[in-house]
């Protein structure tokens, strides 16, 4: 899929499911796609997506409890991306490694694009940016890490690598 079609899918999911308050309720989003979220220690991985055996929850998202709150939110959104992008049909298990090399496949990139748009939609970011242009304020509003926020701001050409936001 193209990057724009992935972003459109995330925006459509938000709109269709009335997930228009921020920060996005990722646990509710997981329930909507039929995923049960479980927090546990997962050495060397951020998250895992498994098939569930319950009719209401055909998926299980395992999230590494040792990661930061913002990291865990992104992991849940990322795994939802795998589900909605139909990546899971190709595999019995998907996991997100902390190793960048293992985490750089096309499927992982697509799930990251989906997650970033789900958590920080372009239009909402632009409107919030007018009210609170600090990096800390934006991160708090969307409940994402500074790394995710910098990525989103660069993606929509609001900043380039030379501009720093006030903390």
Question: What architecture (CATH level 2) is domain 3-119?
Answer: Orthogonal Bundle (1.10)
What letter would DSSP give residue 167? -
Structure confidence by residue, pLDDT tens digits, 101-154: 344 588 889 999 999 999 999 999 989 988 877 899 999 999 999 999 999 998
Which residue ranges does the chain devote to CATH 1.10.10? Answer: 3-119
Distance CA 152, CA 149 (A): 5
- Rounded to 10 degrees, the C-alpha dihedral 109/144/35/14 comes to -90
Nearest to 27 by CA among 63, 2, 52, 58: 63
Q: How many CA atoms lie within 13 A of 31 on its CB side?
A: 7
3-class SS at 124?
helix
Contact 71, 95 (CB under 8 A): no
Mind listing the pLDDT tens digit for each residue in 45-88?
999 998 877 788 899 999 999 999 999 999 999 999 999 999 87
């Amino acid at each position: 899929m193209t990057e724009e079609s992935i972003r459109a899918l995330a925006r459509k999911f938000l709109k269709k499911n009335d997930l228009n308050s921020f920060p996005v309720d990722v646990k509710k989003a997981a329930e909507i796609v039929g995923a049960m979220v479980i927090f546990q220690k997962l050495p060397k991985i951020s998250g895992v997506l498994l098939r569930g055996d319950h009719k209401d929850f055909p998926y299980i998202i395992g999230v590494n409890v040792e990661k930061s709150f913002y990291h865990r939110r992104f992991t849940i959104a990322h795994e939802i991306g795998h589900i909605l992008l139909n990546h899971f049909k190709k595999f019995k298990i998907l996991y997100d490694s902390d190793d960048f090399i293992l985490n750089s496949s096309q499927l992982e990139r697509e799930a990251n694009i989906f997650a970033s748009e789900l958590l920080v939609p372009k239009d909402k970011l632009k409107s919030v940016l007018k009210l609170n242009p600090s990096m800390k304020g934006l991160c708090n509003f969307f409940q994402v890490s500074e790394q995710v926020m910098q990525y989103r701001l660069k993606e929509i050409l609001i900043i380039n690598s030379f501009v720093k936001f006030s903390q």
